Amino acid sequence: MPALIIWGFIYHYLFFKIIPFDDILYLVFSYLALATFSILFMYFYDEGKLSQKLRYFRLFIPLLLQFSLGSIIGGVFIFYWFSGSFFVSWPFILVVIALMVLIEVYKHYLEHPVVQFGLYSFSAFLLLAVALPYFFRSLEAWLFVSAGAISFFLVLLLTILLGKSQAIKDQKYRILAVSAFVFIGFNVFYFLNLIPPVPLSIRDAGVYHSVIRTARGYELLAEPQNWWQKISHIPTIHLMAGEPAYVFTSIYSPADLNTNIVHDWQYYDEKTKKWTNMSEISFHITGGRQEGYRGYSFKTNVPAGKWRVFVETPRGQVLGRYEFNVERVDQQPMLVKEIE
Protein backbone atom coordinates (compact mmCIF):
# COMPACT_ATOMS: atom_id res chain seq x y z
CA MET A 1 0.00 0.00 0.00
CA PRO A 2 2.76 2.57 0.71
CA ALA A 3 4.12 1.88 -2.79
CA LEU A 4 0.69 2.56 -4.31
CA ILE A 5 0.39 5.84 -2.39
CA ILE A 6 3.82 6.99 -3.59
CA TRP A 7 3.08 5.90 -7.15
CA GLY A 8 -0.25 7.75 -7.11
CA PHE A 9 1.48 10.94 -6.03
CA ILE A 10 4.20 10.62 -8.70
CA TYR A 11 1.63 9.78 -11.38
CA HIS A 12 -0.53 12.80 -10.65
CA TYR A 13 2.53 15.05 -10.24
CA LEU A 14 3.82 14.17 -13.72
CA PHE A 15 0.47 13.85 -15.47
CA PHE A 16 -1.02 17.08 -14.15
CA LYS A 17 1.95 19.11 -15.40
CA ILE A 18 1.36 18.21 -19.07
CA ILE A 19 -2.42 18.54 -19.52
CA PRO A 20 -4.59 21.70 -19.39
CA PHE A 21 -5.95 22.78 -16.02
CA ASP A 22 -9.61 22.49 -17.03
CA ASP A 23 -9.06 18.93 -18.27
CA ILE A 24 -7.60 18.05 -14.87
CA LEU A 25 -10.67 19.42 -13.12
CA TYR A 26 -13.02 17.49 -15.37
CA LEU A 27 -11.05 14.32 -14.63
CA VAL A 28 -11.25 14.83 -10.86
CA PHE A 29 -14.96 15.70 -11.09
CA SER A 30 -15.43 12.34 -12.81
CA TYR A 31 -13.90 10.74 -9.70
CA LEU A 32 -16.47 12.61 -7.58
CA ALA A 33 -19.28 11.35 -9.82
CA LEU A 34 -17.88 7.82 -9.48
CA ALA A 35 -17.82 8.13 -5.67
CA THR A 36 -21.42 9.40 -5.68
CA PHE A 37 -22.52 6.52 -7.88
CA SER A 38 -20.72 3.99 -5.64
CA ILE A 39 -22.49 5.23 -2.50
CA LEU A 40 -25.92 5.27 -4.15
CA PHE A 41 -25.47 1.82 -5.67
CA MET A 42 -24.26 0.32 -2.38
CA TYR A 43 -27.26 1.40 -0.32
CA PHE A 44 -29.89 0.91 -3.01
CA TYR A 45 -28.61 -2.65 -3.52
CA ASP A 46 -28.53 -3.38 0.21
CA GLU A 47 -32.16 -2.21 0.46
CA GLY A 48 -33.18 -4.67 -2.26
CA LYS A 49 -33.98 -2.01 -4.86
CA LEU A 50 -31.54 -3.43 -7.41
CA SER A 51 -31.34 -6.83 -9.07
CA GLN A 52 -29.51 -9.60 -7.25
CA LYS A 53 -27.73 -10.29 -10.52
CA LEU A 54 -25.50 -7.37 -9.53
CA ARG A 55 -24.26 -9.10 -6.38
CA TYR A 56 -20.74 -9.58 -7.74
CA PHE A 57 -20.61 -5.90 -8.68
CA ARG A 58 -21.70 -5.10 -5.10
CA LEU A 59 -18.58 -6.90 -3.84
CA PHE A 60 -16.48 -4.67 -6.07
CA ILE A 61 -18.15 -1.37 -5.03
CA PRO A 62 -16.11 -0.72 -1.82
CA LEU A 63 -12.91 -0.91 -3.90
CA LEU A 64 -14.41 1.49 -6.44
CA LEU A 65 -15.33 3.90 -3.65
CA GLN A 66 -11.85 3.65 -2.19
CA PHE A 67 -10.32 4.32 -5.61
CA SER A 68 -12.53 7.33 -6.37
CA LEU A 69 -12.15 9.02 -2.98
CA GLY A 70 -8.41 8.35 -2.92
CA SER A 71 -8.07 9.71 -6.46
CA ILE A 72 -9.90 12.93 -5.55
CA ILE A 73 -7.78 13.57 -2.46
CA GLY A 74 -4.52 12.46 -4.09
CA GLY A 75 -5.16 14.29 -7.34
CA VAL A 76 -6.33 17.59 -5.86
CA PHE A 77 -3.55 17.42 -3.23
CA ILE A 78 -1.06 18.11 -6.05
CA PHE A 79 -2.58 21.58 -6.49
CA TYR A 80 -2.30 22.33 -2.78
CA TRP A 81 1.28 21.05 -2.74
CA PHE A 82 2.29 23.30 -5.65
CA SER A 83 0.30 26.27 -4.40
CA GLY A 84 1.57 26.76 -0.87
CA SER A 85 4.64 26.96 1.30
CA PHE A 86 5.10 23.89 3.49
CA PHE A 87 6.59 26.14 6.19
CA VAL A 88 3.20 27.82 6.55
CA SER A 89 0.62 25.28 5.32
CA TRP A 90 2.16 22.17 6.89
CA PRO A 91 -0.76 21.49 9.32
CA PHE A 92 -3.27 21.33 6.47
CA ILE A 93 -0.93 19.42 4.14
CA LEU A 94 -0.21 16.82 6.85
CA VAL A 95 -3.96 16.33 7.41
CA VAL A 96 -4.44 15.58 3.70
CA ILE A 97 -1.44 13.20 3.63
CA ALA A 98 -2.76 11.41 6.72
CA LEU A 99 -6.16 10.90 5.09
CA MET A 100 -4.53 9.52 1.93
CA VAL A 101 -2.65 6.97 4.04
CA LEU A 102 -5.65 6.09 6.20
CA ILE A 103 -7.84 5.41 3.15
CA GLU A 104 -5.30 2.82 2.01
CA VAL A 105 -4.50 1.26 5.38
CA TYR A 106 -8.01 1.20 6.89
CA LYS A 107 -10.07 0.74 3.72
CA HIS A 108 -12.28 -1.86 5.46
CA TYR A 109 -13.84 0.99 7.48
CA LEU A 110 -15.26 2.41 4.24
CA GLU A 111 -18.28 0.15 4.79
CA HIS A 112 -19.28 2.39 7.72
CA PRO A 113 -21.67 5.22 6.68
CA VAL A 114 -20.06 7.89 8.88
CA VAL A 115 -16.60 7.18 7.45
CA GLN A 116 -17.93 7.07 3.88
CA PHE A 117 -19.79 10.35 4.09
CA GLY A 118 -17.09 12.06 6.11
CA LEU A 119 -14.47 11.28 3.46
CA TYR A 120 -16.94 12.15 0.71
CA SER A 121 -17.58 15.57 2.30
CA PHE A 122 -13.85 16.21 2.73
CA SER A 123 -13.07 15.15 -0.85
CA ALA A 124 -15.84 17.28 -2.35
CA PHE A 125 -14.78 20.33 -0.31
CA LEU A 126 -11.13 19.83 -1.30
CA LEU A 127 -12.06 19.68 -4.99
CA LEU A 128 -14.58 22.55 -4.99
CA ALA A 129 -12.15 24.84 -3.16
CA VAL A 130 -9.91 24.51 -6.24
CA ALA A 131 -12.63 24.48 -8.89
CA LEU A 132 -14.75 27.48 -7.86
CA PRO A 133 -11.87 30.03 -7.95
CA TYR A 134 -11.00 28.66 -11.39
CA PHE A 135 -14.55 28.85 -12.76
CA PHE A 136 -15.26 32.29 -11.27
CA ARG A 137 -11.75 33.66 -12.02
CA SER A 138 -11.45 34.98 -8.48
CA LEU A 139 -9.88 34.24 -5.09
CA GLU A 140 -12.64 35.86 -3.02
CA ALA A 141 -13.32 34.28 0.38
CA TRP A 142 -17.01 33.72 -0.40
CA LEU A 143 -16.02 31.15 -3.02
CA PHE A 144 -14.24 29.06 -0.40
CA VAL A 145 -17.21 29.24 1.96
CA SER A 146 -19.49 28.30 -0.95
CA ALA A 147 -17.33 25.25 -1.68
CA GLY A 148 -17.98 24.05 1.86
CA ALA A 149 -21.69 24.80 1.66
CA ILE A 150 -22.02 22.84 -1.59
CA SER A 151 -20.13 19.84 -0.19
CA PHE A 152 -22.40 19.82 2.88
CA PHE A 153 -25.48 20.10 0.63
CA LEU A 154 -24.29 17.09 -1.41
CA VAL A 155 -24.04 15.00 1.76
CA LEU A 156 -27.46 16.21 2.89
CA LEU A 157 -28.94 15.35 -0.52
CA LEU A 158 -27.48 11.83 -0.40
CA THR A 159 -28.87 11.22 3.08
CA ILE A 160 -32.32 12.30 1.84
CA LEU A 161 -32.13 10.07 -1.26
CA LEU A 162 -31.03 7.14 0.91
CA GLY A 163 -33.40 7.99 3.74
CA LYS A 164 -35.13 4.60 3.66
CA SER A 165 -31.87 2.75 4.29
CA GLN A 166 -31.75 1.55 7.90
CA ALA A 167 -28.00 2.13 8.04
CA ILE A 168 -28.46 5.77 7.00
CA LYS A 169 -31.39 6.27 9.38
CA ASP A 170 -29.31 5.03 12.31
CA GLN A 171 -26.32 7.24 11.48
CA LYS A 172 -27.96 10.27 9.81
CA TYR A 173 -27.22 12.80 12.55
CA ARG A 174 -23.65 11.56 12.98
CA ILE A 175 -23.13 11.83 9.24
CA LEU A 176 -24.36 15.42 9.19
CA ALA A 177 -22.33 16.24 12.32
CA VAL A 178 -19.13 14.97 10.70
CA SER A 179 -19.87 16.93 7.52
CA ALA A 180 -20.47 20.07 9.60
CA PHE A 181 -17.17 19.42 11.39
CA VAL A 182 -15.40 19.20 8.01
CA PHE A 183 -17.00 22.49 6.98
CA ILE A 184 -15.97 24.25 10.20
CA GLY A 185 -12.47 22.73 10.19
CA PHE A 186 -11.78 23.79 6.61
CA ASN A 187 -12.91 27.34 7.34
CA VAL A 188 -10.74 27.57 10.46
CA PHE A 189 -7.70 26.52 8.39
CA TYR A 190 -8.67 28.95 5.64
CA PHE A 191 -9.17 32.05 7.76
CA LEU A 192 -5.95 31.31 9.65
CA ASN A 193 -4.28 31.36 6.19
CA LEU A 194 -3.07 27.76 6.56
CA ILE A 195 -4.67 26.63 3.29
CA PRO A 196 -2.66 27.45 0.13
CA PRO A 197 -4.24 29.91 -2.35
CA VAL A 198 -5.11 27.34 -5.03
CA PRO A 199 -5.05 27.44 -8.02
CA LEU A 200 -2.09 29.86 -7.90
CA SER A 201 1.40 28.35 -7.71
CA ILE A 202 5.01 29.53 -7.92
CA ARG A 203 6.96 28.35 -10.94
CA ASP A 204 10.28 30.06 -10.13
CA ALA A 205 11.90 32.63 -7.84
CA GLY A 206 15.33 34.22 -7.54
CA VAL A 207 17.33 37.19 -6.28
CA TYR A 208 19.11 39.43 -8.81
CA HIS A 209 21.22 42.55 -9.20
CA SER A 210 18.95 43.96 -11.90
CA VAL A 211 15.60 43.23 -13.57
CA ILE A 212 14.71 45.05 -16.80
CA ARG A 213 11.69 44.35 -18.99
CA THR A 214 12.59 44.21 -22.69
CA ALA A 215 10.92 43.16 -25.95
CA ARG A 216 12.43 39.69 -25.55
CA GLY A 217 11.24 39.30 -21.98
CA TYR A 218 12.78 40.10 -18.63
CA GLU A 219 16.54 40.66 -18.63
CA LEU A 220 18.06 39.52 -15.32
CA LEU A 221 21.58 40.09 -13.99
CA ALA A 222 22.55 37.26 -11.66
CA GLU A 223 25.60 35.81 -9.95
CA PRO A 224 26.47 32.50 -11.64
CA GLN A 225 25.41 29.29 -9.91
CA ASN A 226 25.63 25.66 -10.98
CA TRP A 227 22.61 23.39 -10.79
CA TRP A 228 23.67 21.91 -7.45
CA GLN A 229 23.99 25.33 -5.83
CA LYS A 230 20.53 26.26 -7.07
CA ILE A 231 18.84 23.30 -5.39
CA SER A 232 20.98 22.85 -2.27
CA HIS A 233 22.08 26.27 -1.06
CA ILE A 234 20.47 29.45 0.17
CA PRO A 235 21.89 31.94 -2.36
CA THR A 236 24.07 34.87 -1.39
CA ILE A 237 23.95 38.13 -3.31
CA HIS A 238 26.96 40.46 -3.10
CA LEU A 239 25.89 44.11 -3.22
CA MET A 240 27.90 47.28 -3.47
CA ALA A 241 26.98 50.37 -1.45
CA GLY A 242 23.63 51.80 -2.56
CA GLU A 243 22.88 48.87 -4.88
CA PRO A 244 19.31 47.46 -4.62
CA ALA A 245 18.30 43.78 -4.51
CA TYR A 246 15.59 42.43 -6.82
CA VAL A 247 13.38 39.41 -6.15
CA PHE A 248 11.83 37.99 -9.32
CA THR A 249 8.99 35.44 -9.31
CA SER A 250 7.01 33.49 -11.89
CA ILE A 251 3.51 32.64 -10.66
CA TYR A 252 1.11 30.33 -12.49
CA SER A 253 -2.53 31.38 -12.58
CA PRO A 254 -5.32 29.93 -14.78
CA ALA A 255 -6.44 32.03 -17.75
CA ASP A 256 -8.48 35.14 -16.94
CA LEU A 257 -7.81 34.90 -13.19
CA ASN A 258 -6.70 38.36 -12.10
CA THR A 259 -5.38 39.13 -8.66
CA ASN A 260 -2.66 40.98 -6.80
CA ILE A 261 0.52 39.42 -5.44
CA VAL A 262 2.40 40.76 -2.44
CA HIS A 263 6.14 40.45 -1.78
CA ASP A 264 6.65 40.69 1.98
CA TRP A 265 10.34 41.50 2.61
CA GLN A 266 11.64 40.40 6.01
CA TYR A 267 15.06 40.86 7.62
CA TYR A 268 16.53 38.75 10.43
CA ASP A 269 17.73 40.96 13.27
CA GLU A 270 20.71 39.27 14.91
CA LYS A 271 20.31 41.37 18.05
CA THR A 272 16.68 40.50 18.78
CA LYS A 273 16.84 37.08 17.05
CA LYS A 274 13.58 37.86 15.28
CA TRP A 275 12.37 38.42 11.73
CA THR A 276 11.34 42.02 11.06
CA ASN A 277 8.93 43.14 8.34
CA MET A 278 10.73 45.70 6.21
CA SER A 279 8.28 46.36 3.38
CA GLU A 280 5.31 44.91 1.49
CA ILE A 281 5.22 45.47 -2.28
CA SER A 282 2.17 44.57 -4.37
CA PHE A 283 1.77 44.01 -8.11
CA HIS A 284 -1.03 42.72 -10.35
CA ILE A 285 -0.98 39.42 -12.26
CA THR A 286 -3.08 38.05 -15.11
CA GLY A 287 -3.32 34.29 -15.58
CA GLY A 288 -3.02 32.05 -18.60
CA ARG A 289 0.72 31.73 -19.17
CA GLN A 290 1.88 28.15 -18.59
CA GLU A 291 5.33 29.24 -17.38
CA GLY A 292 3.76 31.69 -14.97
CA TYR A 293 3.19 35.43 -14.78
CA ARG A 294 6.51 37.18 -14.24
CA GLY A 295 6.77 39.97 -11.69
CA TYR A 296 9.33 41.44 -9.35
CA SER A 297 9.96 43.82 -6.48
CA PHE A 298 13.14 45.48 -5.29
CA LYS A 299 14.49 47.10 -2.17
CA THR A 300 17.19 49.73 -1.71
CA ASN A 301 19.44 50.21 1.31
CA VAL A 302 19.53 46.47 1.98
CA PRO A 303 21.65 45.71 5.07
CA ALA A 304 23.88 42.65 5.13
CA GLY A 305 22.44 39.53 6.71
CA LYS A 306 19.62 37.03 6.29
CA TRP A 307 16.58 37.94 4.21
CA ARG A 308 13.40 36.22 3.14
CA VAL A 309 10.50 37.24 0.93
CA PHE A 310 7.05 35.74 1.41
CA VAL A 311 4.99 35.61 -1.78
CA GLU A 312 1.38 36.12 -0.69
CA THR A 313 -2.13 37.00 -1.77
CA PRO A 314 -3.68 40.23 -0.43
CA ARG A 315 -5.43 38.11 2.24
CA GLY A 316 -2.07 36.85 3.48
CA GLN A 317 -2.22 33.32 2.02
CA VAL A 318 1.35 32.23 1.34
CA LEU A 319 2.36 30.78 -2.04
CA GLY A 320 5.99 30.43 -1.13
CA ARG A 321 8.98 31.73 0.77
CA TYR A 322 12.30 32.66 -0.82
CA GLU A 323 15.40 33.02 1.38
CA PHE A 324 18.75 34.59 0.57
CA ASN A 325 21.76 36.22 2.22
CA VAL A 326 23.18 39.66 1.54
CA GLU A 327 26.87 40.51 1.76
CA ARG A 328 28.33 43.96 1.21
CA VAL A 329 31.34 44.23 -1.11
CA ASP A 330 33.52 47.02 -2.54
CA GLN A 331 33.83 45.49 -6.00
CA GLN A 332 31.13 44.31 -8.41
CA PRO A 333 31.02 40.47 -8.59
CA MET A 334 30.97 38.64 -11.91
CA LEU A 335 27.43 38.67 -13.33
CA VAL A 336 25.65 36.70 -16.05
CA LYS A 337 22.68 37.81 -18.11
CA GLU A 338 19.52 35.68 -18.16
CA ILE A 339 16.35 36.14 -20.21
CA GLU A 340 13.01 35.04 -18.74
Could you report the per-residue pLDDT of 104-117, keeping only the tens digit for each?
A: 666 667 778 888 89
Q: Is the pTM of this model over 0.85?
A: no
CA distance 204 to 201: 9
167-221: pLDDT as tens digits: 899 899 999 999 999 999 999 999 998 888 888 888 788 999 999 988 888 899 9
Nearest of 134, 167, 114, 112 to residue 29 by alpha carbon: 134
Q: Please, which pLDDT band fits residue 311 given cuts at 50, 70 and 90? A: very high
**pLDDT greater than 80 at residue 17:** no
**Judgement on whether residues 223 and 181 belong to the same structural domain of the protein:** no
| Inside any domain, residue 53 | yes
Q: Please, which pLDDT band fits residue 9 given cuts at 50, 70 and 90? A: low
**Judgement on whether residues 105 and 125 belong to the same structural domain of the protein:** yes
**Judgement on whether residues 225 and 84 belong to the same structural domain of the protein:** no
69-89: pLDDT as tens digits: 888 887 788 778 777 777 778
123-170: pLDDT as tens digits: 999 999 999 988 888 888 999 999 999 999 999 999 999 988 888 998
Nearest of 149, 120, 146 to residue 133 by alpha carbon: 146
Q: How confident is the model over 290-306, as a mean pLDDT? A: 85
Mean residue pLDDT of the chain comes to 85
| Inside any domain, residue 196 | no
Q: Are 45 and 58 in contact (CB under 8 A)?
A: yes
**Judgement on whether residues 148 and 267 belong to the same structural domain of the protein:** no
Domain count, the chain: 2
Q: Please give the residue range of the domain that contains residue 262.
A: 201-339
DSSP string, 59-97: HHHHHHHHHHHHHHHHHHHHHHHHHS-HHHHHHHHHHHH
- What pLDDT score was predicted for residue 4? 55
- What pLDDT score was predicted for residue 6? 61
**pLDDT greater than 60 at residue 268:** yes
**Judgement on whether residues 241 and 265 belong to the same structural domain of the protein:** yes
Q: Please, which pLDDT band fits residue 287 given cuts at 50, 70 and 90? A: low
> What percentage of the chain has pLDDT greater than the value 90?
40
**pLDDT greater than 80 at residue 3:** no
Q: How many Cα atoms within 13 Å fall on the side-chain side of residue 282? A: 7
**pLDDT greater than 60 at residue 316:** yes
**Judgement on whether residues 173 and 95 belong to the same structural domain of the protein:** yes
- What pLDDT score was predicted for residue 126? 92
**Judgement on whether residues 64 and 172 belong to the same structural domain of the protein:** yes
End of a domain among 164, 191, 218? 191
| Inside any domain, residue 74 | yes
Sign, Cα dihedral of 216, 221, 226, 230: negative
**Judgement on whether residues 208 and 180 belong to the same structural domain of the protein:** no
Which stretch of 50-59, 69-78, 277-286 has the lowest confidence by average pLDDT? 69-78
**Judgement on whether residues 157 and 208 belong to the same structural domain of the protein:** no
End of a domain among 163, 191, 219? 191
| Inside any domain, residue 58 | yes
- What pLDDT score was predicted for residue 262? 93
| Inside any domain, residue 91 | yes
The residue that leads in pLDDT, 70 or 302, is 302
**Judgement on whether residues 183 and 226 belong to the same structural domain of the protein:** no
**Judgement on whether residues 25 and 163 belong to the same structural domain of the protein:** yes
| Inside any domain, residue 64 | yes
The residue that leads in pLDDT, 291 or 72, is 72
The CATH number assigned to the domain holding 266 equals: 2.60.40.1930
| Inside any domain, residue 308 | yes
The residue that leads in pLDDT, 236 or 288, is 236
**pLDDT greater than 90 at residue 92:** no
The 10 Å Cβ neighbour count of residue 163 is 11
Nearest of 202, 205, 199, 196 to residue 254 by alpha carbon: 199
The side-by-side arrangement of strands in the sheet containing 201-208 is 201-208, 245-252, 293-299
Q: How confident is the model over 228-241, as a mean pLDDT? A: 82
**Judgement on whether residues 37 and 178 belong to the same structural domain of the protein:** yes
- What pLDDT score was predicted for residue 292? 66
| Inside any domain, residue 206 | yes
End of a domain among 154, 169, 191? 191
> What percentage of the chain has pLDDT greater than the value 70?
88
